[in-house]
């Protein structure tokens, strides 16, 4: 049957008035009462069944059914509470499976607003569903309740649909008024009509009849005078009024928590326990759009609230927070408004989950924001002025219990040292980059591994003022880093795992969370903050921070500056906080007749501030207690010349850690059958693991490989990783230097998705070449290690560093099976070896967390 074929509505006079409904039409009926919709749609259903059409009822609402089951009518029962994306995809799949020329009746669109809290998402559903129905030459009927939605949403629906009809009724009359009839015209098509008792339309052509009609409309408008306000804003205003009257209910607060804060039940319970109604109202005032503020924003606000509630003595040291929040609904609206929904649906499928991601990523990067949203962006940017800000991901699933998404999504600095219009353009690009990062391979792999690939993952944005101090042309925090309430890394029996650990750097905290360059953060066990494994200034200098991340206000960019170049630009009071003298090297120069000051960054004077360290320990301990789970945080610390300081908590999330450590009996393994035996430098619980596969990367062969081709090694590791997926094998990667570094000179620059199926990661040193492991503790890679329960060990090259045995000739009699796994990897056979073990030759790893010892070898 050709498109635009005439269809019988079951009401002949309506067919005449509209010049018939046609194939492809979506028919939206705006009513005050759903009985009015039923009066019109029932004849259509009867007619369709009589004509042997494929007629389908999409049922998802709590209102009384619009249709009852009968022969010839197909009913799908859906649940809109599963979320916008899941529901919309389910409807899309039904439409796809039912094919062309199917007829549909939907429950009230207005109930989608109830399920999703906002008009915006209801409008988004219609704007992506209606065109797909049109493409398949269907006919679909939708009721929408008058006065329940803002004018902008009704305007979007009216613009998208083919037919939009107003129905008004009272005890005496029912009136039908076509507002939009697409692609056809009759002289009296847009007149109002009275629907008489015989279901016949009579056009209103005299003033007496028209007076009845317009009086009815006037009375309805008086009842819905606030329709220009989004339904969620109306709800929030009513919540405020009820609170100030002392009448706010738990139901209202639970709805606010669910609709604006989080869908994570554990996080929601914590928020309800800690937040006052004023806290919710403050967040709402600083929101752009609707939806939730996402996991990262929730974690930050919750941590700060816990400090205020349980550690009031430290509130005076906390920097006030004035963040803004771009709600998750804006993300989906951006996808819909830029016509990317079909591509998004295609990418969600198993077949195209990875191969369409890059196309969607690029499309997101090139989209546009509507002027209404840009106006809100401008108002926010006017508040911050030229103070630098950071645009951070804060997705639905991020930073919840069990799903940290650490480092998976982007955070983008906006320096703001430019004109207002340039600030807006930079900010919009930053938001686009965060949105596009949902399509990064590592994020997609992370979601798929955890069975989250079919779940809603809407992206909210947390916009934070960069906490910092201006040093002439540079802007940065005096110090920053990450803090853990539970430490899996102890370098002394005196240190407690429960005391917490800081990863501390000077400048922006990016050096504390990313494994980049030649920088080493200061590790601070809060039990004994000044404790360190480094006993002389030479080693302290060697394992120190070489570059500092700063915001360059002159160049309007974020960059790292070498410590030697930055020192002359910094005041003495600040240098005393972060720097130490390398007395050994200074003495060497002095003996040569040269006087030189050799400084390196250690943050030593910061660590010596007992009040500050106690505050950090108490905060981490309290957060763990209130969360009922170990946590990790991001923070900044700023000082004044007189020694005054403040702390800003930027992020907090629950951290899964291995089970409480137990003693593990470690067997004696002959030295020639031992691959490695180390003390201290490992992370993981006491363990006994059978190793089935070892992937060995030769340090010297890797070092001599051309620099511009080193990254190709990652693709081979990734192929090995993929090959053993779902094979129930325990894999160990033994690699020189730092696994996951951004610099190929320092190690193999894999991302986590390249090694996601490994059970053990072993970094080993080769100081002849310059490969030195860095304990991953606190980096984004560490978060992945923790969440997937990987075991991590660093094998150094001296017994003083904790390594008793490391046998590089251990595998000399074994045959690599790399060519069986990746036949096209022949050029890499000298660099990468893959050794498989079985019951005839069993390789085992034993670890005792309490004794801080791990051994890997062939036990008899």
pLDDT digits (tens, 9 = 90+) for 591-608: 888 888 889 999 999 999
Mean pLDDT of 57-84: 94
> Which DSSP state fits 812?
T
d(CA 300, CA 469): 21
Which comes out higher in pLDDT, residue 748 or 141?
141
- Confidence check: pLDDT of 383 > 70: yes
List of residues 6+ apart from 679 with CB closer than 8 A: 802, 803, 804, 852, 853, 854
pLDDT tens by residue, 810-827 = 998 899 999 999 998 888
Mean pLDDT of 99-125: 93
pLDDT tens by residue, 423-482 = 999 999 999 999 999 998 888 887 887 777 777 778 999 999 999 999 999 999 999 999
d(CA 481, CA 653): 14
Question: In terms of C-beta distances under 8 Å and separation of at least 24 residues, what long-range contacts does 237-245 make, across chains too?
Answer: 239/277, 240/281, 243/277, 243/281
- Confidence check: pLDDT of 404 > 50: yes
Mean pLDDT of 730-754: 87
d(CA 245, CA 242): 5
pLDDT tier at 135, thresholds 50, 70, 90: very high
Comparing CA positions, the residue from 298, 296, 259 lying closest to residue 275 is 298
- Confidence check: pLDDT of 515 > 80: no
Lowest-confidence range among 7-16, 118-127, 212-221, 778-787?
778-787
- The token pair that represents 657 in the structure block: 């850690």
Comparing CA positions, the residue from 680, 658, 660, 677 lying closest to residue 668 is 677
Mean pLDDT of 407-435: 93
Comparing CA positions, the residue from 719, 705, 713, 757 lying closest to residue 735 is 713
Mean pLDDT of 391-408: 74
* Predicted local distance difference test score (pLDDT) of residue 719: 94
Lowest-confidence range among 85-89, 268-272, 446-450, 579-583?
446-450
pLDDT tier at 310, thresholds 50, 70, 90: very high
pLDDT tier at 490, thresholds 50, 70, 90: low
Indicate if 475-654 has the same CATH topology as 303-466.
Answer: no
* Predicted local distance difference test score (pLDDT) of residue 665: 75
- Please, what's the b/e burial string for 479-491 (b: 16 or more CB within 10 A of its CB; e: otherwise)? bbbbbbbbbbbbb
Query: CB of 37 within 8 A of CB of 29?
Result: yes
Judged by DSSP in three states, 237 sits in: helix
* Predicted local distance difference test score (pLDDT) of residue 517: 53
Which of the given ranges, 193-197, 423-427, 585-589, has the highest pLDDT on average? 423-427
* Predicted local distance difference test score (pLDDT) of residue 777: 43
Comparing CA positions, the residue from 531, 527, 512 lying closest to residue 775 is 512
d(CA 776, CA 737): 11
- Confidence check: pLDDT of 401 > 80: no
CATH T-level assignment (fold) for domain 6-223: Rossmann fold (3.40.50)
Q: What is the mean pLDDT of the chain?
A: 88
CATH T-level assignment (fold) for domain 475-654: D-amino Acid Aminotransferase; Chain A, domain 1 (3.30.470)
* Predicted local distance difference test score (pLDDT) of residue 64: 95
Q: Name the CATH superfamily for 303-466.
A: ATP-grasp fold, A domain (3.30.1490.20)
d(CA 423, CA 391): 13
Which comes out higher in pLDDT, residue 456 or 552?
552
- Confidence check: pLDDT of 766 > 90: no
pLDDT tier at 90, thresholds 50, 70, 90: very high
The domain ranges of the chain are 6-223, 303-466, 475-654, 671-857
* Predicted local distance difference test score (pLDDT) of residue 659: 45
- Confidence check: pLDDT of 504 > 60: yes
pLDDT tens by residue, 700-727 = 999 999 988 888 999 999 999 999 988 8
* Predicted local distance difference test score (pLDDT) of residue 340: 95
Q: Phi then psi for 462, rounded to 5 degrees?
A: -105, 120
Judged by DSSP in three states, 784 sits in: helix
């Amino acid at each position: 049957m050709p498109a635009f074929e005439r269809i019988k509505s079951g009401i002949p006079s309506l067919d005449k008035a509209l010049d018939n409904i046609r194939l492809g039409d979506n028919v939206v009926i705006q009513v005050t009462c759903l009985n009015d919709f039923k009066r019109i749609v029932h004849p259509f259903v009867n007619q369709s069944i009589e004509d042997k059409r494929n007629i389908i009822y999409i049922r998802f609402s709590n209102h009384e059914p619009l249709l009852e089951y009968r022969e010839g009518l197909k009913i799908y029962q859906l649940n809109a509470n599963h979320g916008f994306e899941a529901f919309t995809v389910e409807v899309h799949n039904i439409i796809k499976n039912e094919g062309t020329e199917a007829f549909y009746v939907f429950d009230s669109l207005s109930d989608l607003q109830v399920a999703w809290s906002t008009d915006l998402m209801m409008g988004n559903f219609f704007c992506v569903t209606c065109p797909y129905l049109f493409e398949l030459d269907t006919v679909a009927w939708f009721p929408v309740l008058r006065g329940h939605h803002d004018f902008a949403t009704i305007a979007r629906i009216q613009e998208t649909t083919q037919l939009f009809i107003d129905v008004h009724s009272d005890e005496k009359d029912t009136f039908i008024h076509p507002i939009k009839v697409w692609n056809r015209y009759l002289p009296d098509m847009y007149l109002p009509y009275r629907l008489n008792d015989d279901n016949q339309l009579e056009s209103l052509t005299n003033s007496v009849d028209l007076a009845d009609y317009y009086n009815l409309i006037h009375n309805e408008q008086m009842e819905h005078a606030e329709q220009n306000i989004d339904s969620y804003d109306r709800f929030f205003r009513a919540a405020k009024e009820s609170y100030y009257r002392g009448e706010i209910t738990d139901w209202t607060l639970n709805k606010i928590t669910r609709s604006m804060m989080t869908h994570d039940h554990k996080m929601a319970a914590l928020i309800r326990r800690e937040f006052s109604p004023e806290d919710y109202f403050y967040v709402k005032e600083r929101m752009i759009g609707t939806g939730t503020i996402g996991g990262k924003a929730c974690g930050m606000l919750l941590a700060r609230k816990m400090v205020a509630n349980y550690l009031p003595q430290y509130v005076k040291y906390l920097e006030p927070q004035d963040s803004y929040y771009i709600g998750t609904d804006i993300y989906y609206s951006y996808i819909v408004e830029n016509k990317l929904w079909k591509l998004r649906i295609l990418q969600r499928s198993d077949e195209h989950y990875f191969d369409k991601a890059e196309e969607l990523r690029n499309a997101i990067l090139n989209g546009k924001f509507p002027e209404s949203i840009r106006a809100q962006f401008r108002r926010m940017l006017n508040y911050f002025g030229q103070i630098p800000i950071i645009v951070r991901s804060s997705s639905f699933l991020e930073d919840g219990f069990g799903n940290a998404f650490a480092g998976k999504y982007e955070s983008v600095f906006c320096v703001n040292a430019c004109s207002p219009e340039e600030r807006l353009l930079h900010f919009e690009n930053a938001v686009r980059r965060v949105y596009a990062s949902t399509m990064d391979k590592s994020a997609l792999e992370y979601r798929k591994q955890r069975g989250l690939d079919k779940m809603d993952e809407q992206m909210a944005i947390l916009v934070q003022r960069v906490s910092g101090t201006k040093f002439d042309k540079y802007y940065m925090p005096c110090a920053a880093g990450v803090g853990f309430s539970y430490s899996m890394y102890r370098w002394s029996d005196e240190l407690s795992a429960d005391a917490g650990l800081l990863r501390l750097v000077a400048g922006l905290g990016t050096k504390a969370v990313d494994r980049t360059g030649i920088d080493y953060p200061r590790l601070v066990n809060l039990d004994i903050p000044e404790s360190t494994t480094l006993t002389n200034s030479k080693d302290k200098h060697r394992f120190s921070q070489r570059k500092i991340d700063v915001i360059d206000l002159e160049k309007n960019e974020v960059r790292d500056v070498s410590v030697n170049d930055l020192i002359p630009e910094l005041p003495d009071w600040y240098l005393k906080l972060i720097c130490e003298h390398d007395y050994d090297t200074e003495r060497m120069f002095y003996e040569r007749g040269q006087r030189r000051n050799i400084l390196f960054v250690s943050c030593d004077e910061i660590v010596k501030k007992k009040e500050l360290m106690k505050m950090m320990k108490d905060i981490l301990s309290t957060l763990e207690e209130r969360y009922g789970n170990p946590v990790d945080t991001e923070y900044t610390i700023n000082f004044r010349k007189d020694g005054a300081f403040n702390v800003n908590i930027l992020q907090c999330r629950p951290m899964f850690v291995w089970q409480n450590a137990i003693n593990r009996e470690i067997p004696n393994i002959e030295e020639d059958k031992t691959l490695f035996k180390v003390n201290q430098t490992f992370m993981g619980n006491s363990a006994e693991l059978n190793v089935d596969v070892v992937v060995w990367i030769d340090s010297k062969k890797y070092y001599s490989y051309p620099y511009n081709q080193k990254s190709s090694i990652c693709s081979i590791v990734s192929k090995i990783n993929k090959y053993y997926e779902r094979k129930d094998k325990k894999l160990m990667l033994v690699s020189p230097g730092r696994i996951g570094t951004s610099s190929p000179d320092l190690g193999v620059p894999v991302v986590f998705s390249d090694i996601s199926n490994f059970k053990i990661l072993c970094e080993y040193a080769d100081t002849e070449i310059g490969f030195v492991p860095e304990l991953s503790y606190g980096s984004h890679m560490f978060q992945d290690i923790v969440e997937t329960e990987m075991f991590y060990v660093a094998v150094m090259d001296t017994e003083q560093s904790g390594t008793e045995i490391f046998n590089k000739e251990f595998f000399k009699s074994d045959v690599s099976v790399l060519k069986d796994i990746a036949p096209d990897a022949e050029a890499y056979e000298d660099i990468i070896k893959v050794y498989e073990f079985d019951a005839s030759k069993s390789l085992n790893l034993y670890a005792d967390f309490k004794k801080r010892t791990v051994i890997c070898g062939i036990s008899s």
